[in-house]
Amino acid sequence: MRCVSIAVTGDVLLHPPLVEQARADDTTGRGMDFTPMLAAQAPYVAAADLGICHLETPLAPAAGPFSGYPEFSVPPQILPALIEVGYDACTTASNHTLDQGTDGLHRTLNDLDVAGLAHTGSYRTAADAAGSTVIDTGHGRVGVISVTYGFNTGPPEQRWQVNLLDVDAVLVAAIAARAAGADLVVVAVHAGTEYDTEPNSDQRVAAQTLLASPEIDLVYGHHAHVVQPLQQINGKWVIYGLGNNIASHATPVDATREGLLVRVTFSQDSTGSWTTSDIAWVASLQGPGPPHRWCPLTTGITCVDPALDAAVLARTTDIVNRYGAATAGAHRLDRT
């Protein structure tokens, strides 16, 4: 029997305070180091067969200029940190993908290629867009599809440059990924209502439709910047919203400092069929900073202070289980 584990996290959203933190943390000579910010993820991400991040914004030239909301352009120095903690791939379809136009889109994909991180969701050529991203984990081949609900800065120059949330198109892409050799297909959906812990109708309809297909094994989401529930549908799982991986919003919504890291394990039986054999989640809390750090709310670790940590963990647990996830077998992961 083969098993494949996949670790997924929410938005990597580098607001200016995080860039300043990386400068303060630098001992590398690169001018900034994001690794200390993300280091606590390593035991979870590196332990998985496949780690997938969501790079929400375009990358700037290494020397900048850098910018935050509303039109992001962020340091490519984030990429070594993502690799250091164990990520193998990044999804790139988001409402901010086109913040720096086609030039920013191309620069981001070029930098990901140079770093050795697989990617999907935005494309340099129509041929790339028509292809499939299938990653060989050594235990099974995983097809990854990335889509977004729309863009903040207008449509792309070419329709194929970024995948939009179109369930029919996703189903076609899933079939193509299977034809390209994928044993499993996962879909990252960048959608939802910002700061709302409830999935909206677009998310719910997409999950129901996609998980009704035998071609798709997992749907997970980001964009709301807060944690949303997990739900089992047709024996498979949707993670409606992972919250933020790392961010520093100016908004006073405290929940934007909370997130999920979810590890999904798939097992193949003697007939060759794959099923979800385990789904485990880690709640995270980023302190108000500085220093800005991703911190797991697990036994024996204090993120901010015990009372706040306990309150956030209780709130996250309630949200995660709102649609019966615990009854269906999802569980909190205290240790890797």
- What CATH number has the domain bearing residue 257? 3.60.21.10
For residue range 212-249, what is the model confidence (pLDDT) as tens digits?
999 999 999 999 999 999 999 999 999 999 999 999 99
- Average pLDDT of the chain is 96
121 or 154, which is more confident? 121
Give CA–CA dist 323/170, Å, rounded. Answer: 25
Question: Full-prediction pTM beyond 0.95?
Answer: yes
Our count of domains for the chain comes to: 1
What pLDDT is stored for residue 335 in this prediction?
67
- With a CB cutoff of 8 Å and minimum separation 6, the contacts of 248 are 15, 16, 17, 18, 286, 289, 292
3-state secondary structure of 38: helix
What pLDDT is stored for residue 315 in this prediction?
97
* 189: confidence class by pLDDT, cuts 50, 70, 90: very high
Closest CA to 13 of 106, 75, 98, 104: 75
Q: Backbone phi, then psi, for 88, in 5-degree steps?
A: -110, -20
For residue range 23-78, what is the model confidence (pLDDT) as tens digits?
999 998 879 999 999 999 999 999 999 999 999 999 999 999 999 999 999 999 99
- With a CB cutoff of 8 Å and minimum separation 6, the contacts of 324 are 231, 232
Give the domain range for residue 222: 3-332
